Each structure stands twice: as structure tokens, then as C-alpha cells.
Amino acid sequence: MPSNDVANVEVAIIGGGIGGLTTAVALNKAGIDAHIFEQAEQYGEVGGHLTIDTAAIVVLGRWDLDAPFRALACELDGLEIRTLRSGNVLAHFPHPDLGALGVNDSSRAGSRVVHAFLRTDFLKMLTDQIPSRNLHTGHKLTALSGDGEGASARFENGLEVRASIILGADGVRSLARSMFDNSQAAPANWSVLRTLCSADLLPDDMPNDRMRFWDGWEFGDKEKQIGTHALTVPVREAKFVSIDLQFVGGDQLQDCDPWDIPVDRVMARYPETMDPLVRTMIEKRVEPITVHAIFDRPVAEKWVDRRIAILGDAAHSMRPSLGQGACQSIHDAGELAKSFAEHGLTSEALEAYADVRKPYVKMIVEAAKNQSVSPKAPVK
Ligand SMILES: Cc1cc2nc3c(=O)[nH]c(=O)nc-3n(C[C@H](O)[C@H](O)[C@H](O)COP(=O)(O)OP(=O)(O)OC[C@H]3O[C@@H](n4cnc5c(N)ncnc54)[C@H](O)[C@@H]3O)c2cc1C
């Protein structure tokens, strides 16, 4: 798409993260000419793993993504809690139903089956489903405006796009959302460091088949909300272990290159008494350690302005404690596709989407807040 020009498309989606790309897949499969405009030069710039649950996988199945998804994801045998000091197992249980975590939704009874995968693999699966002429990287949104007939987006490279509908899927620090409110994304004083190691490092009696939460509160200060925890999951046919190191409070490594955190700065957070296996996994990593800061932003009260709407983290960012942000972005995509099928590319479709999704995600966001950092055993 040439710069310094005005292009016309049916739907312009700002942001090529999970919410934007899933929506583009859903709409293109429904015969709608939906285009992605992503600021980065490549998709999946921020790596690490994600987990999604059965309910989100059912939605992916509507767009024939069930088989490709299962090929790249590992089904988890529940959640195991260990101490980060000794590696002792404290508990092992199925992923609790969201109802047990405070989400009032009787349609989700029972425990959840959760799958883990690398974010980059998932985004590649999605971009493979979208016609390449509808994918535009290196397009940073700078301005948005709308009227009763459509909406326009302007990009840093000079391109202007006119569309029947514009969807802001530009993440927690969304510029699109500034059309609707004055809220700002605030740093949560919590960052997640991520890397990857070979599963060959695990001992024979520790199968790489489940999520493991290594509780490290004892290395921090619970009163001051300073903690250091690790989360490990199997990825890529369980040949690798994806590692998240959760730094709550304390040194947030803001002076470091976020794409390559020096290992000595990471290890400074852990005393010598840390479980040697976790130490080895970090030391023998096969990828650089990257850091991802967590931001808080309240759920938007307004999601729609005539022909413009927001979705995913732009509308409802949440703490990652429940592993629900990406799941809910996928549900947004499903609801938008359904709503356009019923109401066409209209503002009514956008209002109908927001009416269904907003009350539900508010419950999830509250539950994620209450869950804090340490997962709790299911409430009986
Ligand atoms: C550490 C961590 C772990 C998580 N784990 C899980 C999990 O296990 N399960 C789960 O369901 N969720 C998880 N989440 C949440 C999940 O990552 C997010 O909810 C999800 O990525 C939201 O998708 P999105 O498309 O709305 O936003 P994003 O993934 O943030 O994508 C937004 C995109 O918009 C682009 N963009 C931003 N501004 C502009 C602009 N001006 N112009 C053009 N493009 C722009 C960005 O470059 C980016 O590609 C986790 C989050 C974190 C931080």
C-alpha cells in the first residue's frame, strides 16, 4: 500500500497482536476485506509463552484453526505449585474453573483444559491465514477520526486510510482508546522476564507436561509486595521449557536493554539458596532474557464511537495472573464477527458487540485483580 496516499478498505484494524490478527482472520474468513496496520516491522515482537483455555480454543475452531493450533500447542496436565527455594511440590491440581475464581458464569462449569505455546508461533499461524495484501507492518497510527459514514486513520509514514469500520486493537497503551477517554496506562511495578531452555535439563522424574509455578515470596517481602516467582511451561512439542520470571516490586531493570537483560542483574534477585534446577534453566537458556513491563489501565467505559471500536487490551487490559487477556481478545474477535454477520458493517454491530462483551470482561478483570500473583488452589 503506497504512502502519502488515501486507501479505502472495508475494515481497518490497528495493531497486529492477538486481538487484531484473530479479528482479521475471522472477518476475512467471513468475506470481509479486513486489513491489519501494525506499527512494528514484524509480528510477535514481544515473545514468551501464552496459555489459552478450552473456551477460547472452541472459538478458534470456528475459523478452522483447531488443527493448526493443536499442532503448535502443548496440552497441560494442570498446575503444579513448588517452592522456589527447595523445589518441593506443594500442590498439583487441574486449572480451576473461572467460576471458582469469582467469575459468575454457569456456562463454564468444571475445570479448564489449558494449552501452552509460544506467542510468535501463534501469531505466525494467524498471519498465515490472512491474505498478505491485507497485512501492513511499519504502520504506526498517529490520528483517528470518525463520522456517521465511516472512519479515517492516519499513519506516521504519511498513509491515510478510509474504512467503513476502524477497530483499535493497539494494546494496553492504545492510542485509539484516547478517542474515548483520558485514561493512561500506569506501570504496575511488576515485570516479567522471559527466556527458553531445553527440556533435556529436566530430571527424568519431572515430565515437561504441566505448568509449574515456583513460589518465591520467601525471597521477597510480602508486606512490601516484593516477590520473585517463576513460571515454567512446555512449548514446541514439549522439547523446550518457556520460563517467565516474575519480578514484583524492587528493581524493575528499567536501565537495561529490554531485549537482552544481563543474567547477573537477573540472578542478583535470587539468593544462592534458590532451587538449583531453576538456576540451571536460566543459566543454560537458549534465547536472550527479555523483559516485559506490566501496565494497569481500567476497563474502558466506552468502547464504541460511531464507526470506531476498541478490543483486546485496548479495551480491557488485565493482570496476567489468570492467563485470560489473550483468551478474551479471541472472544472479542468471535463476537465482532458474529455481530457484523447480523448487523453488517454498521455502528449498531459495534454497539451490539460491546453490550455483550463489556459486562463479561469486567468480571474477568476483577477476578484477575483478586488473584494477585500467586495462584490459589480451587475453592471447593
Ligand atoms: C507477561 C504476560 C503474560 C501473559 N500471559 C497470558 C496468558 O497466558 N494467557 C492469556 O490469555 N493472556 C496472557 N497475557 C495477556 C495477553 O498477552 C494480552 O491480553 C494480549 O496479548 C492482548 O492482545 P492485543 O492484541 O489486545 O494487544 P497486544 O498483544 O498488546 O497487541 C497490540 C499490537 O498493537 C500494536 N500497536 C500499538 N500501538 C500501535 C500504533 N499506534 N499503531 C499501530 N500498531 C500499534 C503493537 O505493536 C502490538 O503488536 C499475558 C500478558 C503478559 C504481559
- In tens digits, the chain (380 residues) has pLDDT values of 544 455 899 999 999 999 999 999 999 999 999 999 999 998 876 668 999 998 899 999 999 999 999 999 999 999 999 999 989 999 998 877 766 666 655 445 455 789 999 999 999 999 999 999 999 999 999 999 998 899 999 999 999 999 999 999 999 999 999 988 999 999 888 899 999 999 999 999 999 999 999 998 877 777 766 778 999 999 999 999 999 999 888 888 889 999 999 999 999 888 788 899 999 999 999 999 999 989 999 999 999 999 999 999 999 999 888 889 999 999 999 999 999 999 999 999 999 999 999 999 998 898 887 765 544 433 22
Ligand 1 midpoint to CA 313 (Å): 6
Instruction: Report the distance separating Cα 182 and Cα 79, nearest Å.
Output: 39
Give the chain's end-to-end CA distance (angstroms, integer): 56
- Report CA(82)–ligand 1 centroid distance (Å): 28
Check pocket membership of 220 for ligand 1, CB cut-off 6 A: no
Q: How far apart are CA 11 and CA 33, in angstroms?
A: 6
How many Å is the maximal CA-CA distance in the chain? Answer: 64
pLDDT score of 108: 53
Separation of CA 48 and ligand 1 centre (Å) = 12
Residue 6: the pLDDT is 54
Q: Which of 4, 332, 344 is nearest to 168 (CA)?
A: 332
- Ligand 1, closest atom to CA 317? 19
Q: Give the integer Cα–Cα distance in Å for 178 and 185.
A: 11
Pairing of strands 160-168, 6-14: parallel
**What are the two backbone dihedrals, phi and then psi, of residue 267, each rounded to the nearest 5 degrees?**
-70, -20
pLDDT of residue 104: 58
CA of 20 to the centre of ligand 1 (A): 9
Q: Measured in angstroms, how far is the CA atom of residue 344 from the centroid of ligand 1?
A: 27
Q: Is 167 in the pocket of ligand 1 (CB under 6 A)?
A: no
How much is the pLDDT for 72?
Answer: 96
Domains defined along the chain, listed by start: 8-74+119-183+298-370 (3.50.50.60), 186-296 (3.30.9.30)
In this structure, the chain runs to a length of 380
Question: Among 25, 46, 50, 252, which is best to mutate for testing ligand 1, by the most ligand atoms less than 8 A from CB?
Answer: 50
> How many whole angstroms separate alpha carbon 54 and alpha carbon 112?
6
Ligand 1 geometric centre to CA of 43 (Å)? 11
Q: Is the CB of 170 under 6 A from ligand 1?
A: yes
Q: How far apart are CA 204 and CA 125, in angstroms?
A: 32
Nearest Cα to 14, choosing from 182, 150, 137? 137
Q: Is 15 in the pocket of ligand 1 (CB under 6 A)?
A: yes
- Give the closest residue (by CA) to ligand 1 atom 4: 320
Closest C-alpha to 228, from 219, 240, 238: 219
